[in-house]
Amino acid sequence: MVEIDLSGLSCPGPVIKTKELLDSKDPVRIVVKVDNTASKENVSRFLESRGYNVCVEMEGSKFCVVGTKGSGSEKSVRQERTEARVPEKRIIVMITSRTIGHGDEKLGASLMVNFVKTLKEILPNLWKVILLNEGVKLTVEGSECLPELQELSNSGVQILVCGTCLSYYNLINEKKVGETTNMLDVVTSLATADSVININ
């Protein structure tokens, strides 16, 4: 069991210290003492996000946040989000269609899914994915590309989705991944990229 007294610290201090402790020791049971309600709530939320069962006890004027893991529980329920980064060689993939190429619609759609899936292979250099025109339809519920795009986003790739296009197709509320963007962002991104792969 690990115990740590973080009285005197205010947010986000207690969460940072608790995180450091979990990252280095990964204890089965942890007791974190704090002296204000915001820290009590935040440390509770943090421990829960790492797969602990949490209860809070009072000790004088201090809160003892007690976290316990069931035996054999997996390391953490949430993978930590990777930092969005600027790769050394900045590649942008610009997608302006729902399908790849002009021919059979079904074939084109499955090629697109395969393409987006395979982008993982250039992940170290993949900087941004820009979605324009019908490309924005890849970001809505039901699109087979959506989980792949979400995975890229979680790996730190910026997904820029054209706002004008979402608005045109009436999908502003449906977009499930990425950042709504404007033409200025698109143009400046393209201008600063080392290489642009254009899919239409």
Partner 1 sequence: MELPSDPNLIVGLERADDAGVYLINEELAIIQTVDFFTPVVDDPYYFGQIAAANALSDVYAMGGVPKTAMNLVGFPIRQMDISVLKEILRGGIEKLKEAGAVLVGGHSVEDNELKYGLAVTGFVHPKKVLTKRNLRPGDLFILTKPLGTGIATTAIKAGLASHSLINMVTRSMAALNKGSAEVMALFEVHACTDITGFGFLGHLAEMVVGASYGVEIWAQRVPVFDGIEEMANMGLVPAGAYRNRDFRKEMVEFDTSVPRYLQDILFDPQTSGGLLICVSQAHGEALLEGLHRKALYDSRIVGRVLGDRVEKIFVRLEP
**Nearest approach, Cβ of 164 to partner 1 (angstroms)?**
8
Q: Which is nearer to partner 1, 110 or 150 (CB)?
A: 150
Q: Strand 62-68 relative to strand 53-59: parallel, antiparallel, unpaired?
A: antiparallel
Q: Which chain residues interact with partner 1 by CB under 8 A?
A: 10-12, 15-16, 36-39, 41-46, 48-49, 78, 81-86, 153, 156, 158, 163-164, 166-167, 172-173, 177-180, 182
Please identify, using beta-carbon distances, which residue of 147 and 163 lies nearer to partner 1: 163
Least distance in angstroms from the C-beta of 1 to partner 1: 21
Nearer to partner 1, 114 or 182 (CB): 182
| Strand pairing report for 29-34 and 62-68 | antiparallel
Q: In the sheet where 158-162 sits, what is the strand order?
A: 179-181, 158-162, 126-131, 91-95, 195-199
- The number of helix segments (H) and strand segments (E) in the chain equals 6, 9
- Are 149 and 115 in contact by the 8 Å Cβ rule? The answer is no
Residue 111 CB, shortest distance to partner 1, in Å, is: 28
